[in-house]
Structure 1
Amino acid sequence: MAVEMVMPKLGMAMKEGMVSNWRKEAGDPVSKGEIVADINSEKIEMEIEAPADGIILEIVVPAGQGVPPGTVICRIGSPDEQVIGAAAAAPEAKAHIAEAAVAAVAEPAPSPSPALRKKGESKISPVARKMAEAAGIDIESIAGTGPQGRITKEDVERAIAKLSAAPSPAVESGPVTPPAAGGEQVEQTPVSGIRKVIATRMLDSMRSSAQLTLTLKADVTGLVALQKPVSETVQKQYDVKLTITDFIARAVVLSLMQHKQMNSAYIDERIHTFGYVHLGMAVALDNGLVVPVIRHAEKLSLLELARGLKSLAQRARSGQLGSEEMQGSTFTVTNLGAYGIEHFTPILNPPEAGILGVGAVQDTPVFIGEEVQRRSLLPLSLTFDHRVLDGAPAAEFLRTIKQHLEDPYRLVL
């Protein structure tokens, strides 16, 4: 009897997963435990193994298609076995697959003309509605290809593509080809998986918020001098290495509790201000970027915060994070100091009102009174949503972080 492989549930909040790559084809032999496909959901990507020996009888879900968890994605059995589709996916999974299949056809079957629908009667998924609003497209002008004329994400993507492809009145229309010289070939890589998620979220962030970035430098000479001996002591006693990033995270948490307006989100024309701090810390991976979340960071000491950050970072790099561990942050910190970057412009992690970019510590000659001293300066870049707060309170928040970093003993207490 054929064994069914299903889309696993990678986290409690997971609603959809996608097969980003099939490593086997129908008819290929597989062994139990052998990697068959790569799957992803939101920003989690993992490999999925064959549950039994046999051959791939049928690949049900093609690469690049999203389906709900629990959906059958392929069947494995013996060479002489016939595929029986009795064990089908749940009704909602079937509808989802059918919807995606219709949307994938190059020339979709005729659907009800937008003109035949009464205004306000368009059926549209929440994700599709958000995409259309961000792109400034009237949903009444989109022909839905989903069940009963429902407008899907793919319908909106096609509408956006048509809008982008429309030639400018001042430019002669014609085929667009990538530049190449001397017959050199151009490598094209399909955007999928984590890269596609990041691309979509970042573009949505820029389109849907009023972003402004402020920069300054904090004198962390005292912090650098304190961090080394404290880190050695803590590592010997608690097996945790305290880094400058840990102190910065602690300074951010304390500052958010003082300036709660920055600890906010702009959602559905309302400003949601949180009484707790769920701190997101960006972690770079080989194939993208993830943002694990330290929940209730305001309740943690410097040592507890450092331990939590390191645990999340390690599990992120090994692909062991659940999707719920990357959701719900109220503010994000991203650090490019290891790459020698000074100031940069971080992009908001929606719907958050702020994100702090951290650069590399630079030893610089600075006038202290009439004397020139060697000081360690840390570049900080704060991007904030101008819909939530103005420049002055954002500057006060950034200045508070600077004050905490320049008086590091208060971070240890």
Structure 2
Amino acid sequence: MAVEVVMPKLGMSMKEGIVSAWNKKAGEFVEKGESIASINSEKIEMDIESPAKGTVLEIKVPEGEGVPPGTVICCIGDESEKAPKEKQPKPAGERLKISPAARKIAEGANVDIHSIQGTGPGGRITKADVLKALPEEPKTQPAENDQQFVSTMRKTIAARMTESLQNSAQLTITMKADVTKLTVLQHQLNETAKTKYDTKLTMTDFAARAATLSLLEHPEMNSSYQDERLSVYEHVHLGIAAALDGGLAVPVIRHAERLPLIELAKKIKWYAEKAREGRLLHDEIEGSTFTITNLGAYGVEHFTPILNPPEAGILGIGRMYETPVYKEGELCKSDILPLSLTFDHRALDGAPAAAFLSTVKTYLENPASILL
């Protein structure tokens, strides 16, 4: 009997998933557990594995088309079988089924959607159906370096960053932390961390712990400004930006204030791995109250992070470098860590923002306080 493969629900708030690419074509053989398609929803992208061994009998949702969770996207079975027939479209007078992308294109082109025959699941009108109904236009040759297609993830990031800059009053301040003591402590702890916890402590881990403790002391930074209302949070849901191929994800570590350093470090690595493998759930990238982003690995020192809306602050970590400094009248080598804090001036002023960043600096320069 043919097996139906459905669009999974990646989170409680997910309304639609998009098939970004099919790895198999109709009529091709597939092993159980083999990747048959890639799907995405906002900033989450993941592969769908075949639930059974057999032949792809029919692909019901084309690439680039979005459908609600639970919608059948393809059928797998014996090559002699036929895919289960979809129910016929509902009679006139009932609500017309059409994907959001298809409706938007139809409205923009002034096309009557009631005149279009839907070929999607249950007679749903797809983007391909609308495009097929559009009057033909003269084809133009794209410029050599034009990029014709932009991923859904890229579009989402672009929209959120534009929204962030347009709807907040962002200001960035910088400081430098002398982390010479911290680097010594880091090397001392990592042997034990590797042996006992199978992990290692990075500068991002220490900065995350320092930021979390500082947010508890400066709750005005752990806030958001929306609809002319300022919300200050008692808990710290820490977002850690993770670079992906062609995009960015910000998994959220909930109640970071309850986690000791080693547990926080393990969570950061676990979520980063899930992000790279495309296994993050929608709920795991929502609800952050403050974000940390580290560009040190790319050689960047100070930079201007963009707020992750609706948060009031984001801390940027730059590349650590060595420099000679005078300490107690003697010239010695120090490890310097650049810090960049972007904050929403609607939520708080420069003085409390500077006080928060100064507290982060103090924790990093006195690393024993991070462990206690």
CA contact (8 A) 1:58 1:83 kept: no
Q: Tell me the residue number matched to 2:59.
A: 59
Alignment of 1:208-357 (within 5 A): 208-357=167-316
- Cα distance, 1:411 vs structure 2: 0.6
Cα distance per residue 1:205-226 (max 9 Å; x no partner): 1122111111111111111112
Note closer, same or farther for the CA distance 1:240–1:100 as it changes in structure 2 (3 Å cut): closer
- Cα distance, 1:402 vs structure 2: 0.6
Q: Which amino acid aligns with 1:18?
A: I
Q: Tell me the residue number matched to 2:47.
A: 47
> Is 2:103 the partner of 1:102?
yes
Alignment of 1:6-405 (within 5 A): 6-26=6-26, 28=28, 30-52=30-52, 55-76=55-76, 78=79, 81=82, 84-86=85-87, 97-105=98-106, 107-109=109-111, 185-405=144-364
Q: Tell me the residue number matched to 2:117.
A: none
CA–CA distance in structure 2, aligned partners of residues 269 and 96 of structure 1 = 37
**Which fold has the larger relative contact order, with Cα–Cα distance below 8 Å and residues 6 or more apart in sequence?**
2
CA–CA distance in structure 2, aligned partners of residues 65 and 270 of structure 1 = 37
Q: Which amino acid aligns with 1:86?
A: K
Note closer, same or farther for the CA distance 1:102–1:309 as it changes in structure 2 (3 Å cut): closer
CA contact (8 A) 1:332 1:354 kept: yes
TM-score normalised by structure 1 residue count: 0.75
- Cα distance, 1:285 vs structure 2: 1.9
Q: Which amino acid aligns with 2:103?
A: V
194-203 or 220-229, larger mean C-alpha shift: 194-203
CA–CA distance in structure 1, aligned partners of residues 27 and 196 of structure 2 = 57
Note closer, same or farther for the CA distance 1:378–1:229 as it changes in structure 2 (3 Å cut): same
- Cα distance, 1:32 vs structure 2: 4.3
CA contact (8 A) 1:280 1:291 kept: yes
- Cα distance, 1:242 vs structure 2: 1.8
Q: Which amino acid aligns with 2:87?
A: A
Q: Which amino acid aligns with 1:107?
A: A
Q: Percent identity?
A: 58
TM-score normalised by structure 2 residue count: 0.83
CA–CA distance in structure 2, aligned partners of residues 53 and 307 of structure 1 = 36
CA–CA distance in structure 2, aligned partners of residues 237 and 2 of structure 1 = 48
Q: Which amino acid aligns with 2:72?
A: V
CA–CA distance in structure 1, aligned partners of residues 100 and 324 of structure 2 = 63
- Cα distance, 1:368 vs structure 2: 3.0
Cα distance per residue 1:216-242 (max 9 Å; x no partner): 111111111121112223333333322
Q: Which amino acid aligns with 2:101?
A: A
Q: Which amino acid aligns with 1:38?
A: S
Cα distance per residue 1:129-149 (max 9 Å; x no partner): xxxxxxxxxxxxxxxxxxxxx
Q: Which amino acid aligns with 1:40?
A: N
CA contact (8 A) 1:54 1:79 kept: no
Q: Which amino acid aligns with 1:379?
A: P
CA–CA distance in structure 2, aligned partners of residues 406 and 350 of structure 1 = 30
- Cα distance, 1:395 vs structure 2: 0.9
CA contact (8 A) 1:102 1:108 kept: no
Q: Which amino acid aligns with 2:217?
A: Q
- Cα distance, 1:255 vs structure 2: 0.4
Taking only aligned residues, the RMSD between alpha carbons, in angstroms, comes to 2.8
39-48 or 395-404, larger mean C-alpha shift: 39-48
Q: Which amino acid aligns with 1:303?
A: I
Cα distance per residue 1:251-299 (max 9 Å; x no partner): 0001000110100012222111100001111111223211111111111
CA contact (8 A) 1:72 1:88 kept: no
Equivalent residue pairs, number: 341
CA–CA distance in structure 2, aligned partners of residues 315 and 348 of structure 1 = 23
5+ residue gaps, structure 1, are 112-153, 155-175
5+ residue gaps, structure 2, are 114-126, 128-139
393-402 or 280-289, larger mean C-alpha shift: 280-289
Note closer, same or farther for the CA distance 1:99–1:45 as it changes in structure 2 (3 Å cut): closer
Cα distance per residue 1:187-218 (max 9 Å; x no partner): 52411232222222112211221111111111
CA–CA distance in structure 2, aligned partners of residues 331 and 262 of structure 1 = 8
- SS at the partner of 1:265? strand
- Cα distance, 1:53 vs structure 2: 5.2
381-390 or 58-67, larger mean C-alpha shift: 58-67
CA–CA distance in structure 2, aligned partners of residues 271 and 57 of structure 1 = 54
CA–CA distance in structure 1, aligned partners of residues 8 and 229 of structure 2 = 35
Note closer, same or farther for the CA distance 1:275–1:88 as it changes in structure 2 (3 Å cut): farther
- Cα distance, 1:15 vs structure 2: 2.4
- Cα distance, 1:83 vs structure 2: 5.7
- SS at the partner of 2:231? strand
Cα distance per residue 1:35-62 (max 9 Å; x no partner): 3221012222111133445554543333
